[in-house]
Amino acid sequence: MFKIEKPIFIAGPCVIESEELLDVVAKELCRLRDKLDIQIVFKASFDKANRTSISSFRGPGVERGVEMLSQIKKKYNLPITTDVHESTHVAKVAEVADILQIPAFLCRQTDLLLAAAATGKIVNIKKAQFLSADDMKYPVQKVTESCSSDVWLTERGNMYGYNNLVVDFRNVADMTKITQRVVMDCTHSVQRPGGAGGTTGGNREFVPAMALAAKAFGANGFFFEVHPDPDNAMSDGPNMLYLNELETVIKSLL
């Protein structure tokens, strides 16, 4: 489905906020796909199950969320990815998602990995903030030894003290020895986890440099959470890229 010799771009809002938001973002991704002749995937979460606070917005849930993502896929002919937190959700999500994303905190959850592998869909495993690149060979083995699903790996930084992340770009190079597709999560890697008084902070100004550095170390996939108005987004606003800046960042990577 995706050509390995071409980079993959994954983009979309952190969480499904409304049908209107999904349409605005999807239209821009289609415009960039056609203008730049790129492989681009639409991403949005139906449930942010790992939010800092219980009062934080989580999304519409699996049933409504999958329905909304299905509408985007049909209307715009865009491949879809979204994250799954529970093995019981995997089969339902796989009805629409072309790529199943395993959250970083859950990358060692065997039942979740096996359920994702059983769908035959691409499984994109995000590297945990507490693991090295070499540690990621074990989650990959859980998928590949149980099923023939294609596996991608995503770098998103490591914990560096409290409320901070640091990216060791050697992890990108090391993970290219494990899988053919290594994605840089350019927006989550600039987060300040739990660093904004019960919500996650971030530094979106570093996103373009994160992407270029990852490319230098061999990344062939780039993940951007984008929003037309990130300062008023319902999740991850401080680290999300403005939607109208995505074209410039992608061009820099081409």
pLDDT at 200: 66
pLDDT at 194: 64
Domain boundaries, the chain: 8-253
Spell out the per-residue pLDDT of the chain, length 254, in tens.
899 999 999 999 999 999 999 999 999 999 999 999 999 999 999 987 776 667 677 888 999 999 999 999 999 999 999 999 999 999 999 999 999 999 999 999 999 999 999 999 999 999 999 999 999 999 999 999 988 779 999 999 988 878 788 999 999 999 999 999 999 999 988 877 765 555 567 788 999 999 999 999 999 999 999 999 999 988 877 889 999 999 999 999 99
pLDDT at 162: 81
- Looking up tokens 């020895």 gives 177
Closest CA to 9 of 235, 225, 173: 225
Closest CA to 109 of 50, 150, 54, 192: 50
Of the CATH numbers 3.40.50.300, 3.30.410.40, 3.40.50.1100, 3.20.20.70, which one belongs to the domain with range 8-253? 3.20.20.70
CA atoms within 13 A on the CB side of 239: 26
79/81 Cα distance (integer angstroms): 7
Could you tell me the pTM of the whole model?
0.93
100/26 Cα distance (integer angstroms): 19
Closest CA to 238 of 209, 208, 196, 183: 196
